[in-house]
Amino acid sequence: MVAAAIIVDGRLLLAQRTRPPELAGLWELPGGKAEAGESPEDALRRELREELGVEVSGGDRIGDDVPLPDGRVLRAYRVELVSGTPAALDHAELRWVDGRELGEIDLVGNDRGWVPDLRLHLNGW
Ligand code: C5P
């Protein structure tokens, strides 16, 4: 599983989940699941195209891998917007948060451990 930290002008892009019911309403770094034979970087580019309608580049890791209950890991990458304006094509809503807001918003549990690393790149904390 891969997730993207898109940071512009000291703010991080978060996306609000619509599903499953127990995660709906919570905020996450956008991303998703790599398909068979797909590299994490390719999976992230595809997911961001599908979910946000944007093209991204880069892909330095940020934060630690998060082990998931099913044995997979969730890995975050810092990426740069190359083209397009993020749109909530698969989420309820998008929000750009600064470091203070990141500490106050209801993140999905899997993403919470990344907050200290993410904050180092954000304004306002
Ligand atoms: O978005 P999608 O439903 O494909 O994500 C599958 C799973 O990936 C979610 O149920 C969630 O457990 C995990 N995920 C996450 N944090 C993210 C992205 C995905 O926990 N930022």
Q: Residue 58 pLDDT more than 90?
A: no
Q: Residue 25 pLDDT more than 90?
A: yes
Q: Is 111 in the pocket of ligand 1 (CB under 6 A)?
A: yes
Predicted complex ipTM: 0.89
pLDDT, one tens digit per residue, over 9-18 is 999 999 999 9
In the prediction, which pLDDT does 107 show?
A: 98
Q: Is 47 in the pocket of ligand 1 (CB under 6 A)?
A: no
DSSP summary character for residue 80:
E
Separation between Cα atoms, residue 19 and residue 87, nearest integer Å: 17
pLDDT, one tens digit per residue, over 60-98 is 999 999 999 999 999 999 999 999 999 999 999 999 999
Ligand 1 pocket, mutate which of 74, 78, 118 (most atoms under 8 A from CB): 74
Task: Provide the token pair at 68.
Answer: 């998931």
